Amino acid sequence: MSSSDRLARLLAQSRRAVVFTGAGISTESGIPDFRSPGGVWSKMTPISFQDFVARPERRREAWERAFSGVTRWQGADPNAGHYAVARLVAQGKVSAVITQNVDNLHQHSGVPDDKVIELHGNASFATCLECGLRHELEVIKQSFLGTGELPACRGCGGIVKTATISFGQAMPEAAMARAEAETLACDLFLVLGSSLVVYPAAGFPLLAKRNGARLAIVNREPTDQDGYADLVLHEEIGPLLGQVVPLAS
Ligand code: ZN
């Protein structure tokens, strides 16, 4: 049986699946994996949350990076993998997409906002750290590049930051709780493009498995959790899912 047939069969047997995505699904859209060798974080140190809040010069550096295009989050489009996941959600097969990515590509591919659980936040907009008010990046960019002044909240004057979870920042409680509930409610946990090394997010696959769900891992490289999985495929996600999703529907 081909790998796509095996994955299609697991999906066909599932009544409620959860998809868990990492950088690997978005590298196929041209977004670099920050943590990989040669990735962005191997060339420049991430700015911790504590530094961002305490030191204006680090805040300036963070905004300069955000608008330099180095992250390639802006302007990237979803690929076949994202669209296949969106079809699985639309079919009612997948109840939630838990993602470690901050690139907004699941929403961009048509997954409703309330079906996407972002463990590391979202880089496509900013929020005020004081009052939570949302700020659009395009507005901040024009102001910051035009005046050189650090972005401040138009509502309360507080510090504004992209809506990502930075190094040193607490995990988002509501998202973590929803991810856990979805994990415990699923009968198939499908990992797409995560090396499963960043905890606590990487704890969800084994939680699902211990709770009786099947576990499938699709990742280009082997992961530490491959030995626990019912199906492991070291393949590209887009081409594989492009075959699987029509088969599984
Ligand atoms: Zn504010």
What's the gap in Å between 133 CA and the centre of ligand 1? 5
Q: How far is the CA of 135 from the centre of ligand 1 (A)?
A: 9
pLDDT at 229: 98
Place of tokens 């909240």: 153
Q: How far is the CA of 163 from the centre of ligand 1 (A)?
A: 13
Q: Which residues does residue 127 pair with via DSSP β-bridges, in sequence order? A: 134, 161
Q: How far is the CA of 131 from the centre of ligand 1 (A)?
A: 4
CA of 129 relative to ligand 1 center, distance in Å: 7
Q: How far apart are CA 77 and CA 72, in angstroms?
A: 10
Q: Looking at this protein, which amino acid is placed at residue 87?
A: R
Q: How confident is the model over 43-62, as pLDDT tens digits?
A: 678 899 999 999 999 999 99
Q: Which of 82, 106, 108, 120 is catalytic?
A: 120
Residue 142: CB atoms within 10 Å: 12
Q: Is the pLDDT of residue 180 over 60?
A: yes
Q: What is the mean pLDDT of the chain?
A: 92
136 alpha carbon – ligand 1 mean position (Å): 13
130, 159 in Cβ contact below 8 A?
A: yes
> What pLDDT is recorded for position 218?
98
Q: Please tell me the predicted confidence (pLDDT) of residue 247.
A: 56
Segment 129-137 mean pLDDT: 96
pLDDT for 210 beyond 70: yes
pLDDT, average across residues 102-129: 96
Question: What's the rounded mean pLDDT across residues 68-88?
Answer: 85
Give the β-pairing of 17-21 and 121-128: unpaired
Alpha-carbon 79 to chain mean position: 14
Helix ranges restricted to H, the chain? 3-13, 23-27, 40-43, 49-54, 56-68, 80-90, 105-108, 137-147, 173-185, 204-210, 237-248
Mean pLDDT of 176-198: 97
Domains of the chain: 1-31+77-120+171-249 (3.40.50.1220), 33-71+123-164 (3.30.1600.10)
DSSP state of 100: S
Is beta strand 214-218 parallel, antiparallel or unpaired with respect to 231-233?
A: parallel
What's the gap in Å between 29 CA and the centre of ligand 1? 33
Give yes or no: 120 in active site.
Answer: yes
Q: What is the pLDDT of residue 34?
A: 66
How big is the CA angle at 153 (ends 149 and 158), to the nearest 5 degrees? 95
Give the Å distance between the CA of 140 and the centre of ligand 1: 14
